[in-house]
A and B are shown apart, each in its own frame.
Chain A
Amino acid sequence: MSGPQAGTPILETRALTRTFGGLVAVDRLDLTVYPGEIVGLLGPNGSGKTTALNLISGLLRPDSGAIRFNGHDIAGAPAYRIARLGIARTFQLVRVLDGMSCADNVRAGLAFHRHPLPQAQIEERVQALLRRVGLEAQAHRSVPQMTYIDRKRLELARALALAPKLLLLDEWLAGLNPSELQTGIALIRSLKAEGLPILLVEHVMDAIRSLCDRCVVMNGGRKIAEGSVNAVLADPAVVEAYLGAPADA
């Protein structure tokens, strides 16, 4: 395929399909993420973005289609194996472990690697990861008392604890206030600067414009546009998906 991306993709889906009853939630989706880039997965509500993330991360099994990640065929593999291969994710509705301390939440992501670190290094990594997301002062806080953005940071720290080779973010920036949003964008950009490829589902336009190297737009389970942010946002098919057909206007 031609494009600005070089080398082999870290993630590649081919004709990925998943139906729920009669509804085709993801319809023959081709998606690629190259090393070092941030790809935005856009589309109106119900267009299949989260289902696509769930298929890639192993939470759901695809009906058909292929998923290649870093040389492995992972379509239909159990989620724990995909996580150990290096795909980490966050959830649309933030999922942290409320019955555990902040530090234990991060340990959860560290303790089950294929080759777990020795104990002393795990403790070091916990502290480093909490610092990385700006939670170092809260290591011993109980999680239910934490603010919304701090819970999101904690979930991200747990995802990073897997030492991922690809990060899936599902609306990680949704619901933040303007200053938190800037902090969040800076944090994601710094992850990219470290070379971590990211596939993010997002609705926040500022974030999409400032973060994404490339976008894929979905509607009704299908890919309807792909390319640079400006190109896809100007694409008539995308405008129609978000705003309805011009005849209605």
Chain B
Amino acid sequence: MIGAPAAFVLAVAVVAALAAVPFLADAYYLALAISLLQFTVLSTAWGLFSGPTRYISLATAAFFGVGAYTVAVLGEVLPWPLVLAIAAAIGVLTAVVVGFSTLRLSGVYFVIFTFGLAELIRQLVVWYEVNKSRVLGRYVFADITQTDIYWQLLALAVVTFLVGWAIARSRLGFALRIIGEDETVARHCGINTTLAKVVLFTVSATIMTVAGAIMAPRWTYIEPSIAFNAMISFQVVIMALLGGAHRLWGPVLGAVPMTLLFEFLSARFPSTFTIIMGVVFLLIVYALPRGVVGLLARLPRRPRETSEALR
């Protein structure tokens, strides 16, 4: 393990180097870098909640879509920072409502509910657009360049990692590790497990919502089927599982190679892309049940101490 100061310097250097990418890359590589950052943020945010609790959420598309659609509706009317703030607030609200109504569910019921959630919200948006605003699809007129998108995503990625780092060292993080081990024991230790899960679900969902808002100007035209694309939920799960969702830096190890693979496959095999992806998903689950992180940690595993974690 490297020491804390060295890790900090390394992290700052990496962020600085990544911030310089728009000055060096052409339009194609900048677009690719945006995809990489997008999936890094989404899968890391997904792992924040699903890693410790082991609840598989397919709600990524729901929150990402809520963020994107907020921009489509408000992007023209309000200044950009305010739009992002409103998107975040809507994300918080949606996550709290969804969290309290679903986190008592367990196992497969939770998976199915979260999958249905994206579809539910999409249908609500379609209904509203058709019956009330009488548009289906909106142009995104925010004055945002690709470089702006990139930097905003990078900032969001930094925030996501800092939040994850802080949670892992907090009482909440310790509570979630206990919940992941044995939820019944957690309750008998005095942990309000429902509250802990809702708080973390909300943090994770808010990050996803903001990511959707930041990404919206990338499409000039948005309709519900684009914003609430279920595919993104599955991609994020696979990336996080490939990397290893039980560590903060695990999902990024899956997000980067998978994004590059998707990019390559969709360009090279546009018609058979989804079939190949399905096979890849199966292989990952069979070959790497504990992800890349698990592969790296095949060395005798030492239980982690939390003595400093509670500080």
Chain A residues within 8 Å of B, Cβ to Cβ = 57-59, 78-81, 83-84, 88-89, 95, 97-101, 103-104, 107-109, 111-114, 116, 119, 122-123, 140, 142-143, 158, 162
Contact = CB atoms under 8 A, between A and B. Distances in A.
Interface in B184-207: 184-193
Given A97-B181, A97-B182, A109 B303 contact: no
Contact of B193 (A57, A80, A95, A122): A80
A78 B303 contact: no
Contacts of A80: 186-193
B174 A107 contact: yes
Given A57-B188, A89-B188, A119-B310, A98 B181 contact: yes
Nearest to A122: B310
A172 to B, nearest CB: 14
Given A107-B174, A122-B310, A142 B303 contact: yes
B101 interface: no
A26 B151 CA distance: 62
Interface residues of B, number: 27
Nearest to A100: B303
B305 to A, nearest CB: 6
Contact of A113 (B175, B187, B190, B302): B190
A94 to B, nearest CB: 11
B305 A101 contact: yes
A104 B185 CA distance: 13
A162 B189 contact: yes
A190 B227 CA distance: 64
A113 B189 CA distance: 8
Nearest to B301: A142
A99 B307 contact: no
Given A99-B177, A111-B174, A122-B310, 12 more contacts: A58-B187, A78-B187, A79-B184, A80-B191, A83-B187, A83-B189, A84-B190, A89-B188, A99-B180, A107-B306, A109-B190, A142-B303
